[in-house]
Amino acid sequence: MFSSPAGGASEEDKSVKFTGWAAVPGGDGVLQKWSYHPRPLSADEVEIEITHCGICGSDIHFMTEGWSSITRPAIPGHEIVGTVVKRGKDATHQIGDRVGVGCLVSCCRGSSVCNWCRKGEDQFCENKTVTFNSPFKDGRGGISKGGFADRIRVYSDYAFKIPKEISSAEAASFFCAGITTYTPLKRYKAGPNTRLGVIGIGGLGHIALQWAAAMGCQEIVAISGRDNKKDEAFKLGATKFINTSDKEQIKEAAKSIDLCLCTNGSSNSNWEEYLSMMAPLSQLVLLAIPEEPITFVGSHLVSRDVAIVGSHLGSKGDIEEMLEFAAKQGIRPWIEKRPFDDINEACKDVHAGKPRYRIILEMDPSVSTATPTSS
Ligand SMILES: [Zn+2]
Ligand SMILES: [Zn+2]
């Protein structure tokens, strides 16, 4: 166990300690139990007792420093679900509310509001704090710590009430995988005139197929390098399957996709092949960040007005809308539950691409609670 706080001078609530699974100094990709004093609960914050947290590819990139080096100790986890156990006097939630927290925990606070918050696109806020290892810019100091833990304190506008139709374990993955796939479908108006492609049938892709089916897309093409998820892709809503290891199938699909979500973060993807399938005036939307630069020649883009764009999460409004849509349409992530204590094994499985389709860590209800301290 490590006792030093994770950087960033801030006021601490010495009356309580939260315990999480952290990337610690010298720990490489292995998480170890680590406790910290949270920031004092402010008037507009809630304290959440965490019951579930999904494991996302980003957590693995982070822990293994695939994207950049990190400040340790750091607690990952950003598909968080739990119960409100404490509230500040101005918080919008009540004790006992079941809420979820995703990739962001703060945006502009107080009177100065950035352009993006004003536009309702807080995911681009100039003063945002992401859920873990990110400095708070609210004047109170400290660095955010994520959901692989027993508790978390967040501003109540970043804790979203979970519709009663959705179980806590199933709700978790909406807060990253769900919103990441929902927003671009909304932004690019996926619907009855859209021939949609989804590259990669995993944690993100399996939800994207379900959104697309509920939105009534004209054609839903699951695109994968292997046939092993073909049957499940059809169950999830696909109307067509392309195995990219079969060059004939790619040729037959030339210029046939109007909007394509790429969930594949592998650097050795064949971008030329993906682009060859894009129709005129189409968008290829990157949802995962490859660790290496991607390369392609420009002819597909120029000859057919094809755009390669990215998409980053969604706004608070998008998250609320998505949860309602999922509840109404019966869309649920396909999950495998594991106890929090198996976190390192579970992370290894995610790293190896084994889950079908999302691993959700589940807290043993008999052991979870924050530890009061006398120090
Ligand atoms: Zn994520
Ligand atoms: Zn802002």
Helices within 159-298 (DSSP H only)? 168-171, 177-187, 205-214, 230-236, 247-252, 271-276
Confidence category of residue 71, pLDDT binned at 50, 70, 90: confident
Where residue 296 falls among pLDDT bands split at 50, 70, 90? confident
- Over residues 244-259, the mean pLDDT reads 97
Ligand 2 geometric centre to CA of 119 (Å): 9
Give residue for tokens 């996302």: 56
Gap from CA of 246 to ligand 2 centroid (Å): 46
User: Is residue 48 within 8 Å of 154, Cβ to Cβ?
Assistant: yes
Closest listed ligand to the CA of 116: 2
**Residue 18: C-alpha distances to residues 37, 146, 148, 369 (Å):** 6, 11, 11, 8
Q: How far is the CA of 317 from the centre of ligand 2 (A)?
A: 14
Task: Show the domains of the chain with their CATH numbers.
Answer: 16-176+333-372 (3.90.180.10), 177-310 (3.40.50.720)
> How big is the chain, counted in residues?
375
For ligand 2, the distance from its centroid to the CA atom of residue 122, given in whole angstroms, is: 6
Residue 375, pLDDT score: 42
Contact at 8 Å (CB) between 135 and 143? yes
Q: Is the pLDDT of residue 75 over 60?
A: yes
- Output the pLDDT for position 117: 97
Task: Please tell me the distance between residue 108's alpha carbon and the centre of ligand 2 in angstroms.
Answer: 4
The ligand minimizing its distance to the Cα of 114 is 2
Q: Which bound ligand lies closest to the C-alpha atom of 203?
A: 1
What pLDDT is stored for residue 269 in this prediction?
78
Q: Is 163 helix (H, G, I), strand (E, B) or coil?
A: coil
Compute the mean pLDDT over every residue in the chain, rounded to the nearest whole number: 93
Distance 259 CA to ligand 2 centre (A): 29
The residue with tokens 């390192």 is 344
Ligand 1: centre distance to CA 70 (Å): 17
From the CA of 119, how far away is ligand 1's center (Å)? 24
Q: Which residue has the higher pLDDT, 13 or 70?
A: 13
Closest ligand to C-alpha of residue 76 is: 1
- CA angle, 124 then 130 then 135, to 5°: 110
Ligand nearest to the CA of 138: 2
Q: What pLDDT does 178 receive? A: 98
- Give the whole-angstrom CA distance, residue 356 versus residue 337: 11
Tell me, in angstroms, the distance from the centre of ligand 1 to residue 214's CA.
23
Q: Measured in angstroms, how far is the CA atom of residue 177 from the centroid of ligand 1?
A: 6
CA atoms within 13 A on the CB side of 22: 27
pLDDT, position 26: 79
Per-residue pLDDT band for 353 (boundaries 50, 70, 90) equals: confident
- Give the number of the ligand closest to the Cα of residue 129: 2
- Ligand at minimal distance from the CA of 315 is 2
Give the separation between CA 159 and CA 149, rounded to whole angstroms: 16
Angstrom distance (rounded) from CA 221 to CA 253: 10
Burial class (CB in 10 A: 0-12, 13-18, 19+), 175: buried
Q: Is 320 helix (H, G, I), strand (E, B) or coil?
A: helix
Q: How far is the CA of 315 from the centre of ligand 1 (A)?
A: 15
- Comparing CA positions, the residue from 253, 150, 156 lying closest to residue 199 is 253
Ligand nearest the Cα of residue 109 is 2
Give the DSSP letter of residue 277.
T
Contacts of 372 (CB under 8 A, 6+ apart): 15, 16, 17
CA of 255 relative to ligand 1 center, distance in Å = 31
CA 145 to ligand 1 centroid distance, Å:
15
The ligand with the least distance to the CA atom of 119 is 2
Pairs from 132-135 (Cβ < 8 Å, separation ≥ 24): 132/62, 132/74, 132/75, 132/76, 132/77, 132/78, 133/6, 133/62, 133/70, 133/71, 133/74, 133/76, 135/8
Q: How far is the CA of 92 from the centre of ligand 2 (A)?
A: 20
Ligand closest to 122 (CA) is 2
Of residues 10 and 313, more confidence is placed in 313
Cα–Cα distance between 43 and 40 in angstroms, integer? 10
